[in-house]
Structure 1
């Protein structure tokens, strides 16, 4: 009995990689560093200006003002949302708290990180 042959249109199914086959985070960082270095070397050899700009830092969460009822309410809502793992609601509370601090506590705002 012979095995049926696949038609040319049917792609061969590949087995998904196991966890052991995947590169580690350190391997990926090393590859990124090598690629960045190769790009810089190529840019220098060809006279093309290439600059690397690191991604911006994640913004910190706004701190509620100590004696403000609205700040306290938004902070409590944010804490409850985080406890329920509702990160969309946490983000909403952060936006509302930032807006409230900007409008109602302009002199008490912390300086922005650059």
Structure 2
């Protein structure tokens, strides 16, 4: 059995996090290494899906719910202007293989954040 991901450990309250939203299937937290003035992570509590493609194929409603939570948090924290990023694969910058969405906002410029996430 694989080691629990950092997100599984946050859900289990083994690692502290600044929790912004939580329900029975999703948790949203602030990123501990922000790449923008607003940098949040929206994460399904299940570790079943490694990336967004697997999530879309396996549980499209959960993906829709993640996007809705991201929108709500972005509306609260950025006035609704934001980027929603899912890294898929190591070469694309994915470091935790438990699907999660990055919500970034406030003062972003076109072409920024190309390699930082």
- Superposition TM-score, scaled by structure 1 size: 0.28
- Structure 2 length normalisation: TM-score? 0.27
Bigger helix share: 1
Which one has a bigger Cα radius of gyration?
1
Give the number of the structure with larger relative contact order, counting CA–CA contacts within 8 Å between residues 6 or more apart: 2
